[in-house]
């Protein structure tokens, strides 16, 4: 894929990995629109990345995905790269959480992390299919393979997104569309999502992630495993029990 002339939507591109991807794609010459909930963060991102386009959108809020799709159609006039990056991670345990709070948490995580990428894929596929080359890029985690106990729904949402990406790939291949379904599997990355969590020495920078993701896209890879996610994938194949023990309490 030629990254110099793509038209891109990065969900949650106002911070962390999404912002690093948006910046790297802009630097290559692509047109990039990012969305997020917080207007102030979007304004800040636009100040940091010349030419970055922004739109406020609360994924999970009724009507907001429809509105976002409309902005892509009318403002961008087309789309060749949909990067489903926005996600939230809530840490709580079911035995210690009031069921009403749990229900609210479940809805938020499933809506943002799983339903929104699937809906955006469905609604933007006709635009993607019009391009000579295009891709849906879904961000998952090593936690999609082996969950940690403190974020059951987050891990389930990433496992669901991983499975969805694979089945979508089968469908796109069978339909002979020029749209690829790409999974980007990440290790621990130093972003607002992981502030105060995990071993700081093990965290990759978002810029390193962006470099590896863009190299994978340029090489037309359909599964891009970044940093330690590569070795972890192999470990999971060879010794799933050990891999699960490694992530269980992280
Ligand atoms: N960081 C890691 O260690 C790690 C590891 C594996 C996978 N990942 C994955 O990488 C992706 C990016 O994570 P990150 O660490 O960069 O997270 P982050 O720094 O917390 O950024 C998340 C982005 O999503 C936006 N967002 C959150 N909820 C949204 C909503 N409802 N509607 C629209 N935008 C929303 C946020 O902006 P607002 O707050 O303004 O909405 C922000 O721009 C996620 O899919 C995450 O699961 C991260």
- Can 154 be counted among the known catalytic residues? yes
- Is 24 inside any structural domain? yes
At 122-131, the pLDDT tens digits run: 999 999 999 9
User: Which of 92, 154, 170, 236 is flagged as catalytic?
Assistant: 154
Residue 195 Cα to ligand 1 midpoint, Å, equals: 12
What is the position in ligand 1's atom list of the atom closest to the CA of 111? 31
Tally Cβ neighbours within 10 Å of residue 8.
24
**Cβ of 81 less than 6 Å from ligand 1:** no
At 190-222, the pLDDT tens digits run: 999 999 888 899 999 999 999 999 999 999 999
Q: Are 184 and 227 in contact (CB under 8 A)?
A: no
What confidence score (pLDDT) does residue 215 get?
98
Residue 179 backbone phi and psi in degrees, to 5: -115, 125
- Is 68 inside any structural domain? yes
- Is 2 inside any structural domain? no
What confidence score (pLDDT) does residue 81 get?
98
- Cα angle 187, 189, 33 (rounded to 5 degrees) comes to 110
- Is 112 inside any structural domain? yes
At 99-127, the pLDDT tens digits run: 999 999 999 999 999 999 999 999 999 99
Among 7, 48, 53, 47, smallest CA distance to 29 is for 7
pLDDT band at 62 (very low <50, low <70, confident <90, very high): confident
CATH of the domain at 83: 3.40.50.720
**Cβ of 1 less than 6 Å from ligand 1:** no
What angle in degrees, to the nearest 10, is found between the helix axes of 206-218 and 16-28? Answer: 50
Q: Mean pLDDT throughout 24-32?
A: 97
Residue 112 Cα to ligand 1 midpoint, Å, equals: 10
- Cα angle 231, 232, 235 (rounded to 5 degrees) comes to 90
At 64-86, the pLDDT tens digits run: 999 999 999 999 999 999 999 99
Domain count, the chain: 1
**Cβ of 134 less than 6 Å from ligand 1:** no
- Is 77 inside any structural domain? yes
At 146-193, the pLDDT tens digits run: 999 999 999 999 999 999 999 999 999 999 999 999 999 999 999 999
The residue to which tokens 């035995």 are assigned: 95
Q: What is the CA radius of gyration of the chain?
A: 17
Domain that holds residue 28: 7-248
- Is 1 inside any structural domain? no
Residue 176 Cα to ligand 1 midpoint, Å, equals: 32
Residue 16 Cα to ligand 1 midpoint, Å, equals: 7
């Amino acid at each position: 894929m030629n990254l110099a002339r793509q038209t891109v939507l990065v969900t949650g591109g106002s911070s962390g990995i999404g912002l690093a991807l948006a910046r790297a794609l802009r630097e290559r010459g692509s047109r990039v629109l990012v969305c997020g909930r917080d207007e102030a963060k979007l304004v800040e991102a636009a100040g940091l990345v010349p030419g970055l386009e922004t739109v406020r959108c609360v994924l999970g809020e009724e009507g907001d995905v429809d509105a976002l799709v409309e902005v892509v159609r009318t403002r961008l006039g087309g789309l060749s790269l949909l990067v489903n990056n926005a996600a939230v991670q809530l840490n709580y345990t079911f035995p210690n959480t009031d069921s009403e709070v749990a229900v609210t948490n479940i809805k938020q995580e499933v809506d943002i992390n799983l339903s929104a990428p699937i809906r955006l894929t469905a609604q933007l596929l006709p635009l993607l299919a019009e391009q000579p080359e295009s891709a849906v890029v879904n961000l998952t985690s090593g936690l999609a393979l082996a969950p940690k106990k403190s974020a059951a729904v987050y891990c389930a949402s990433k496992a669901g997104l991983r499975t969805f990406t694979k089945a979508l790939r089968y469908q796109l291949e069978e339909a002979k569309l020029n749209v690829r379904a790409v999974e980007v599997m990440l290790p621990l990355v130093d972003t607002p999502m992981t502030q105060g969590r995990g071993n700081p020495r093990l965290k990759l920078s978002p810029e390193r992630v962006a470099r590896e993701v863009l190299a994978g896209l340029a090489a037309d890879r359909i599964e891009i495993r970044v940093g330690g996610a590569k070795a972890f994938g192999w470990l999971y194949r060879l010794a799933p029990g050990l891999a699960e023990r490694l992530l269980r309490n992280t």
